[in-house]
Amino acid sequence: MPVLQESCLSCHGPEKHKGGLRLDSKAAALKGGDDGPVIVPGDAAKSDLYRRILLPAGSDDVMPKKGDLLTKAQTDMIRDWINQGAPWPEIAPANVAAEKPAPEPEVPAADFKPGPAELKATASLHAMGIELWPLAAGLHWHEANLRSQGDHPIDAALAQLKDTASLVELNLAGTKFSDASLTNLQSLTNLARLHLEHTQVHDGALANLKPLTSLVYLNLFDTPVTDAGLENLKGLTRLRHLHLWQTRVTDAGAAALQKSLPQCNIDRGWSPAAPETKTAAITK
């Protein structure tokens, strides 16, 4: 499940289900999508899901479409899971919040045309090899993915992004930046989805997210965030999905945030102190 959550659910989850496919529940995953089942329990070789995650980058059918391809260890895990019958426990681990109602629409109701500052910023980002992609034809709302920057610091790019008011989805997963650079996110008030997983974002830097009241999805997987950082998120009342696996957040800290954001699904994955929970989560 952690592999599916990180790499698949942004396109095939409760918020989006491209091709009619959802992978966030047993019934939906086994049902498949518009082209039929993608998982054949007991036979990975006949499962389209497994076939697609093995395809090379650039292939029309490769999954995931966005971000990094799965590692061999991850594809082997998916293969073995399917060959074992694709077991999917009906009861979620106790520290995973129950499914909450679907979030509000992520794209603002009204479209707008970018102003001179955004056009200038877009040109500067293009020169850095970073593109803003429209969410759909005829819309001026955009998404940006900086994961391809690898080990190259992205502070200069973040300085340009502050003027991209049309940005509704931003992926900074696995990138390197200074905490001070996150001040540039404060102006992105239309931002609905933000990926900060696999970064060194610290508690204090999360204060820069307070103005982002349109956020419905935030991923902090594998970051040094603690309970103190969660205090900065209590005003994000539209937040519906928060991923906190492998952080330093405690049960008490997560519970306190849940009281402030009762409609948010706070996903802490598995607890290292409970091996049986870890096994169930990975098997699922």
The model's pLDDT over 127-167, given as tens digits with 9 standing for 90+, comes to 998 988 887 777 788 899 998 787 789 999 999 999 999 99
Give residue limits of the domains in the chain: 2-83, 116-268
Contacts of 63 (CB under 8 A, 6+ apart): 8, 49, 52, 53, 55
How far apart are alpha carbons 8 and 31 in whole angstroms? 16
Sign of CA dihedral 96, 100, 102, 106: negative
The rounded percent of the chain whose pLDDT value lies above 90 is 45
pTM: 0.63
Radius of gyration of the chain (CA): 19
The model's pLDDT over 84-124, given as tens digits with 9 standing for 90+, comes to 888 876 533 334 444 444 444 455 555 667 889 999 999 99
> What are the helix and strand counts (H, E) for the chain?
9, 7
The fold of 116-268 is 3.80.10
- Amino acid in position 149: Q
How far apart are alpha carbons 101 and 111 in whole angstroms? 26
Angle at CA of residue 140, ends 137 and 144, nearest 5°: 95
The token duo for 93 is 């681990």
HSE-CB of 159 using CA atoms within 13 angstroms:
8
How far apart are alpha carbons 168 and 20 in whole angstroms? 22
Find residue 266's DSSP bridge partners. Answer: 242
How far apart are alpha carbons 260 and 134 in whole angstroms? 33
The model's pLDDT over 21-51, given as tens digits with 9 standing for 90+, comes to 888 888 888 888 888 899 998 888 999 999 9
DSSP E strands in 196-282: the ranges are: 217-219, 241-243, 265-267
How far apart are alpha carbons 272 and 256 in whole angstroms? 21
